[in-house]
Structure 1
């Protein structure tokens, strides 16, 4: 009898697990950007909480589960993590990972061959745009660095940097945005005095700084703060090699201020994906985030909420958690026609879809209309240190 009871209990547990809707969420919980990653993961969990509190999935209210794995902002770790999520956890789709190199590697090696949709929250490398050949399985809720690199070049020129040295970490994300920046900057009439790669995670970059520092007072730095960026900037400040610093979101962290001191960052500014805080969608998102204690405007945080909510909407619209055909539904719920759905409005969206209607999600990160490559236009901000903290301003 005891054996029978245990077997029955196990069968019931298995049935319950199968009744849930599971998505995979590979995140950079370790690696070079854990501080940046932490609120992004919280936003994913908040979206899942709203979905489950407002009726769950489908007519019988199945639980929407986020199964997290550590991609460590590393291509090899991401492949391993997503392989387990897809083949062992049997997730319907992937939301994340957060780093471009990880997103590219797992998509090429695992998710695309398996026919599983990936919706990245912050992987912004231009290489994602054209990596598919007719599969339509890779999307993202943040703009490509094909746009951010241009915005950064315009910012450099607007600040009078008519010549600049470029140093970029030798990885998929930083090399790609540096290339876009250089092309755009030179096209605007700027002079690139040096354009050098640096290897991540070195104990010192004094030799690199000395070489490129002799060519310009201005440095465009493309690196992750936790894998060499802080060290390189420290070496540059110690030697007085540069007067001005600009760069992209891999460097935008409180750790930079903590390590280098706010007083030493007066002439530093970095761009990142941003939200237009004048929209109703952002106001709605901010109220939800504030209530949950999540920084609404931090880099890629609204993008993560939007990606999770969108994926749930797509699965709900599909009527099942089958992988096949999900991309078509993802495109449908992200754009017109359809009744506008704002962050947190799961119950409203669920009712519309149940009646055979259409929805159009407008997110905290902005309009999430995917183009033919799965890209969105997005917005960018520039951040500078004011009163000891980063202060962001939307780039119009």
Structure 2
């Protein structure tokens, strides 16, 4: 049955709720621009819901301030009248917005980068999805990476946030089960001016390397800076939140040889996205850019599948367009996907990150393992 209101063109608005200020501010602009690439692609095509246009509306989640994220989301819904939200970017902000804004207002959220395992079981009324995998998987992958690298004894410093605590809780048992030893596991607070005391405790415990689960523009960077200044550690293991050129610029040569983990996929879709991003002046290799493009694309494709821009109507179509069966749709082929859906034909949206949604609507996910060599992140393998 075709939903009421699909018979005429609309100006659909999509909120982009990312941390334009805060601990991830250096990686947020490429993420936002990647989502806007998908929005422009669809809007320019005229293929969505009888020629509807789509307009992005940015709002600042701050990443770390749940109250600010909630207020920003509320404005998106009540003042800007968005049809759905791409975001939030960070786990704590996503959890707060989901319960305080999305559920009460029946608004779909698709986060490209909120990874806390707690979000897998949060009540969501079928409104919350994510194109990034849960840290329940990243913790296992991180443990495997360390064992392959011969690093069997590590100290851990994690951000005292939903993200940091969630990933630490996934990593520690996986590493111990694999035969590894954790000499110390200590939280760090973001926003401190001096991390020398934190690093002193980590150094006393020792280890083959220091695992840093944190934010690239905040406490994680501070921990590494203090550790290199004091010579406490010479090798670092970097979680996904620590991926960014700003870290390499800030720390420099002492990061050489450090190993990092970031969600990522290889294949035709990834290659096409990188080409499109370069043409648009966007750094497609930056964190969660492909996931941001995919989050926006899934929302708009689901709208066409439901013949409605209303969250209540299209929330049930997101898993369907993401997983098929149907014709595979890659970046740059959104108009094709929309046309097939308008004809009642199924699609399998593969996108930039080989999208496959599982369980409560989160990515099954693969990870790119890299080593910092010569001041850049060199890919070692995918897992």
The equivalent residue for 2:94 is 103
Find out whether 1:152 has 2:142 as its counterpart: yes
Find out whether 1:183 has 2:186 as its counterpart: no
Instruction: Note closer, same or farther for the CA distance 1:287–1:258 as it changes in structure 2 (3 Å cut).
Output: closer
TM-score by length of 1: 0.90
Find out whether 1:394 has 2:381 as its counterpart: yes
Residues 28-177 of structure 1 mapped to structure 2, 5 A cutoff: 28-59=19-50, 61-74=51-64, 75-132=66-123, 135-177=125-167
Contact 1:28/1:72 (<8 A) preserved: yes
Aligned-pair distance for 1:269? Answer: 1.6
322, 335, 342: which is aligned to 1:347? 335
Unmatched runs of 5 consecutive residues or more in structure 2 = 1-8
Between the aligned partners of 2:161 and 2:225, the Cα distance in structure 1 is 21
What per-residue deviation string (whole Å, max 9, x for no partner) do you get for residues 53-85 of structure 1? 2115212x1111111111111312111111111
Contact 1:21/1:57 (<8 A) preserved: no
The equivalent residue for 1:370 is 357
215, 220, 225: which is aligned to 1:229? 220
Between the aligned partners of 2:108 and 2:338, the Cα distance in structure 1 is 21
Contact 1:119/1:139 (<8 A) preserved: yes
What per-residue deviation string (whole Å, max 9, x for no partner) do you get for residues 351-388 of structure 1? 2122222222111111x232231111111112222222
296, 299, 302: which is aligned to 1:308? 296
What per-residue deviation string (whole Å, max 9, x for no partner) do you get for residues 208-234 of structure 1? 111121112321111112222222111
The equivalent residue for 1:272 is 262
Q: Which is greater in Rg? A: 1
The equivalent residue for 1:14 is none
Q: Secondary structure at the match of 1:257?
A: helix
Between the aligned partners of 1:295 and 1:64, the Cα distance in structure 2 is 23
Q: Secondary structure at the match of 1:65?
A: strand
Q: Secondary structure at the match of 1:193?
A: strand
What per-residue deviation string (whole Å, max 9, x for no partner) do you get for residues 304-360 of structure 1? 011111111111121121221322111111112222211121221222122222222
**CA RMSD of the aligned region, Å?**
1.5
TM-score by length of 2: 0.93
Instruction: Note closer, same or farther for the CA distance 1:228–1:391 as it changes in structure 2 (3 Å cut).
Output: same
Between the aligned partners of 1:350 and 1:219, the Cα distance in structure 2 is 47
Q: Secondary structure at the match of 2:339?
A: helix
The equivalent residue for 1:336 is 324
Contact 2:234/2:254 (<8 A) preserved: no
The equivalent residue for 1:5 is none
Instruction: Note closer, same or farther for the CA distance 1:121–1:214 as it changes in structure 2 (3 Å cut).
Output: same
Between the aligned partners of 1:197 and 1:175, the Cα distance in structure 2 is 8
Unmatched runs of 5 consecutive residues or more in structure 1 = 1-17
Q: Secondary structure at the match of 2:205?
A: coil
Count of residues paired in the alignment: 373
The equivalent residue for 1:286 is 274
The equivalent residue for 1:194 is 184
Contact 1:169/1:222 (<8 A) preserved: yes
Q: Which runs of 4+ in 1 moved over 6 A?
A: none
Find out whether 1:381 has 2:368 as its counterpart: yes
Aligned-pair distance for 1:243? Answer: 2.6
